[in-house]
Amino acid sequence: MYSVALTMIVRNESANLKRCLDSARLFVDSLIVVDTGSTDDTMHIAGQAGARVDSFKWVNDFGAARNYSLNIANADWNLILDADESIVDGGLTIASLRNVKPDFVGTLRVDSDFEADGNKSRASSWIARVLPRGVMYTGRIHEQPVHRLPIKNLPVHILHTGYLPKAMLAKKGRNSQLLESELHEFPEDGYLLYQLGKDYAVYHRYEDAVRVFAQADGVLGSGHRLGHDLLLRWLFALKKLARFEIAVELAESRMELWAESPDYWFVVGDLLLDFACSQPEKADALIPMIETSWLRSLEIGERPDLEGAVRGRGSYLAAQNLAVIYEGTGHTAKALQYREIAKATMRFGVQ
């Protein structure tokens, strides 16, 4: 039998911690909570939940804090969660690790709730969160495990709420400062550039985001596992800057690579719609292209396996947008048809 530990670092997480611990306790042998300087009831909540609680003096280095927690855990397998995350499916897969030799790193599907233009959405990422004994982290921010082991996608589903507005406001400026500091030391690190571009875009620094996404793309290459999400965020930032021609040219250059991504086609349709609204003289030419893009999204369906995939782009969100287009162009019957499709796919939670 191999030991399995939930291994966490936390700070001022009294609002979230119990939910996270409760979601995992049945599937692990121990709960390890390392506090990095809480001033609320976080440590008390962890102790009441039966966790082993320890402290680590914060040194502006997430990797160092993670490594301390892993050493404290001293487990054969480590499940890494943040306090604003919880297991919603696949806990038995975690429990079954007790009978699995710890010779690989496991990636889990992490669905992050967020708001865009006042609408709630959910995006998926596959992140290394199951680590065997001896695998440690590097990096001050957006730390990564260092290893040469095989990687396996495990059927475990995590929900993350840390990108909702209240949580994002509390973290404003923190990540960008750490990322900029890290990039000063490692200026050609494509992963750090990608993360910095994301941070800039989240806080509406679109000029900076476009610049950094271009750098990240040049280092990582368009076929990198992060290339899908990088492209979508890059196109969105260009759209926000009204650089439509540049965005369209970029999208066309990646069409073949992401032809089976509903998110790619959804974002292209969204980009072209804003283009048409800003330059009405081009609307007649662009509207058929917008329609084709969102129909393609629906045809493909949901692809949560793709990095950065947003729930609904391959189902109800695309159908809703098509209904709006058809209403605006006088196709009432089609508009009603796609509103019904949107309702049906949303009701049954198409993934």
Domain at 86, CATH number = 3.90.550.10
Co-location of 149 and 187 in the same domain: no
- Say if residue 351's pLDDT is above 60: no
pLDDT confidence of 347, banded at 50, 70, 90?
low
* Beta carbons of 340 and 331 less than 8 angstroms apart: no
> What whole-number distance in Å separates Cα of residue 6 and Cα of residue 288?
51
Co-location of 172 and 222 in the same domain: yes
- R_g (Cα) of the chain, nearest Å: 22
**Is 40 inside a domain boundary?**
yes
> What whole-number distance in Å separates Cα of residue 131 and Cα of residue 327?
51
Over residues 103-126, mean pLDDT = 89
> What whole-number distance in Å separates Cα of residue 49 and Cα of residue 31?
9
What is the pTM for the complete model shown? 0.85
pLDDT confidence of 348, banded at 50, 70, 90?
low
CB-based contacts of 44: which residues, under 8 Å, 6+ apart?
Answer: none
Size (the chain), residues: 351
Over residues 236-263, mean pLDDT = 98
- The two tokens of residue 166 are 């209240």
Please give the share of the chain, as a percent, with pLDDT higher than 90. Answer: 86
Residue 168: per-residue pLDDT: 65
Q: To 10 degrees, what angle do helices 174-185 and 190-202 make?
A: 160
- Distance between terminal CA atoms of the chain? 35
**Is 197 inside a domain boundary?**
yes
* Beta carbons of 320 and 344 less than 8 angstroms apart: no
The dihedral over CA atoms of 272, 291, 305, 345, expressed in degrees to the nearest 10, equals 130
Over residues 156-162, mean pLDDT = 93
Q: Tens digits of per-residue pLDDT, 281-325?
A: 999 999 999 999 999 999 999 999 999 999 999 999 999 999 999
- Say if residue 115's pLDDT is above 90: no
Co-location of 88 and 38 in the same domain: yes
**Among residues 72, 95, 76, 94, which one has the least CA distance to residue 133?**
76
Residue 175: per-residue pLDDT: 83
Co-location of 41 and 143 in the same domain: yes
Co-location of 265 and 117 in the same domain: no
Over residues 166-188, mean pLDDT = 82
Co-location of 198 and 339 in the same domain: yes
Over residues 81-108, mean pLDDT = 98
Co-location of 180 and 150 in the same domain: no
- Say if residue 119's pLDDT is above 70: yes
Co-location of 221 and 139 in the same domain: no
Q: Which residue bears the tokens 């865009």?
A: 116
Co-location of 199 and 290 in the same domain: yes
C-alpha distances in Å from residue 264, one per residue of 44, 225, 238, 310: 45, 15, 15, 10
- Say if residue 350's pLDDT is above 50: no
- Say if residue 36's pLDDT is above 80: yes
Residue 97: per-residue pLDDT: 98
Over residues 88-109, mean pLDDT = 98
Q: How many separate domains does the chain show?
A: 2
* Beta carbons of 236 and 264 less than 8 angstroms apart: no
Range of the domain at 281: 168-347
Q: Tens digits of per-residue pLDDT, 327-337?
A: 999 999 999 99
CATH number at residue 287: 1.25.40.10
Co-location of 277 and 140 in the same domain: no
pLDDT confidence of 174, banded at 50, 70, 90?
confident
**Is 321 inside a domain boundary?**
yes
- Say if residue 163's pLDDT is above 50: yes
* Beta carbons of 204 and 117 less than 8 angstroms apart: no
Exposure pattern of 52-75 as b/e (b: 16+ CB <10 Å)?
A: ebbebeeeebbbbbbbbbbebbeb
**Average of per-residue pLDDT values in the chain:** 94
CA atoms in the 13 A half-sphere facing the CB of 165: 6
Supply φ then ψ for residue 233, to 5 degrees. Answer: -70, -35
**Is 163 inside a domain boundary?**
no
